[in-house]
Structure 1
Amino acid sequence: MRWQQLFADLQAEFEEAEAAEEWAQLPSRARAETGAVRLAERLAGALGARVSLRCRGAGEVAGRLTGCGPDWLLLEDDAGREVLVSLPALLAVTGLVRTTAAPEPASRVRAVVDLRRALRGLVRDRSAVALVLDDGSALTGTLDRVGADFVELAEHAADEFRRPAAVRRVRAVALGAVTVVRTLAPGAA
């Protein structure tokens, strides 16, 4: 009888010590989990929310977050224009919600839908765009092609369609210099 009581007391002490140790590890475990969250995952939790992004060269870019890729974000601004933001150009974010998207398993499809693929969609659409570069300058025109590390822009006035007579020059722009791409409607500035 006394042995059973002794073993029960030892078991209770052990369980109490184990619970105290687990309780003490909770903050460090939470910090470790937070430390593994990438900014893209944090932003993906805010899909549908209004966010404000501070971007290198472009300043503040605000709107409703409508899409996220491995190296880009898509916003709809207050004028209803789509704004593609290069994730490496992102400096700070406001408007994040409490949720964070769960990390997605590595997927071949997700990996190939990068900034270059998104820009190729604009090439196919023949959409007029304003490219904002990391030095703060802006170029307007129509994207002609996207290479491995560059994009070619047929520069023309924002209020004109891409016609041979309207194109002032074709400029190759280093993809790493592109921070923000805004779609424009012909006639918009």
Structure 2
Amino acid sequence: MRWERFFDDLEDQLASEWEAERAALDTEAERLRLSRVVLRERLVALVKRDRSTPSPTFEFTDGMIVVAEVSGVGADWVGLEPAEGRRGAMLAPLGSLIGVGMQHPDLLRSARPDDTRSPLADRMTFGYALRDLVRRRTAVVVHLAGGKALAGTIDRAGADHFDIALHEPGAPRRADAVTGFRVVPFAAVAWIRLDGHAAL
């Protein structure tokens, strides 16, 4: 009888050790998986979040904090639809984000992004999105990382910069309304507001 109990104890001990080892491996595998998740994937997961809960907050290099929903994500940018006020859609380079605040369920869900990736979205760079604004002749307000804002219409978008014709916010771009021109590096942009247009 004592031998049976002894073997049962050994069996239980071995099972406990196996469970502890498997838990350690699972923990390490999870750490490894999380080490490969990029911010872009977490933002993509927010596109389909439950919008009956409070919206995430986005903080930018110019100090602006916006409560918004993610409406689209490109290769290196995020499109936002502000939850408060009538500010118009926003476009921001991922590098201009300082932080994203969200509810705990969204935080956990975004840490497990879908494996379904869009090859097209992966190729849609910030420059690509700006070239679409050029084609549409969309009036914008460009907020720079230093806190300054430039209102106008983007005339051209290069590989790492764009040209903007300055004019009154919301006004159409007409030669007689243009007050100046600026060349703006992408790296200087905190975020861009698109006046009166749907989200990206």
Q: TM-score, normalised by structure 1?
A: 0.82
Map of 1:25-44 to 2, 5 A cutoff?
25-44=25-44
Give ranges in structure 2 of 5+ residues lacking alignment: 1-9
SS of equivalent to 1:162 = coil
SS of equivalent to 2:182 = strand
The answer to whether the 8 Å contact 1:41/1:103 transfers is no
Identity of aligned residues (%): 30
- CA separation in 2, counterparts of 1:89 and 1:129? 17
- CA separation in 2, counterparts of 1:38 and 1:105? 13
Q: CA deviation at 1:154?
A: 0.3
Q: For 2:127, which of 105, 116, 119 is the aligned residue?
A: 116
Q: Say if 1:137 and 1:80 are closer, same or farther in 2 by CA, change over 3 A.
A: closer
Partner of 1:61: 66
- What amino acid is the match of 2:164? L
Partner of 2:97: 90
Per residue, is there more helix in 1 or in 2?
2
- CA separation in 1, counterparts of 2:115 and 2:150? 35
How big is each residue's C-alpha offset from its partner over 1:67-100, in whole Å with a ceiling of 9 and x where there is no partner?
Answer: 1112111111231611001100111001251312
Q: TM-score, normalised by structure 2?
A: 0.78
Q: Say if 1:91 and 1:103 are closer, same or farther in 2 by CA, change over 3 A.
A: farther
Q: For 2:159, which of 148, 173, 185 is the aligned residue?
A: 148
How big is each residue's C-alpha offset from its partner over 1:139-170, in whole Å with a ceiling of 9 and x where there is no partner?
Answer: 00001010111111000011421100000111
The answer to whether the 8 Å contact 2:87/2:195 transfers is no
- CA separation in 2, counterparts of 1:106 and 1:166? 40
Is 1:102 aligned to residue 109 of structure 2?
A: no
Q: CA deviation at 1:104?
A: 5.1
- What amino acid is the match of 1:95? M
- CA separation in 1, counterparts of 2:162 and 2:116? 29
- What amino acid is the match of 1:120? R
Give ranges in structure 1 of 5+ residues lacking alignment: 1-9
- CA separation in 2, counterparts of 1:154 and 1:35? 42
Partner of 2:189: 178
The answer to whether the 8 Å contact 1:58/1:179 transfers is no
Once the two structures are overlaid, the 10-residue window that deviates more, 151-160 or 91-100, is 91-100
How big is each residue's C-alpha offset from its partner over 1:49-82, in whole Å with a ceiling of 9 and x where there is no partner?
Answer: 5221111015212212111112111111231611
- What amino acid is the match of 1:20? A
- CA separation in 1, counterparts of 2:141 and 2:186? 14
- CA separation in 2, counterparts of 1:64 and 1:105? 20
Q: Say if 1:87 and 1:162 are closer, same or farther in 2 by CA, change over 3 A.
A: same
Q: Say if 1:64 and 1:34 are closer, same or farther in 2 by CA, change over 3 A.
A: same
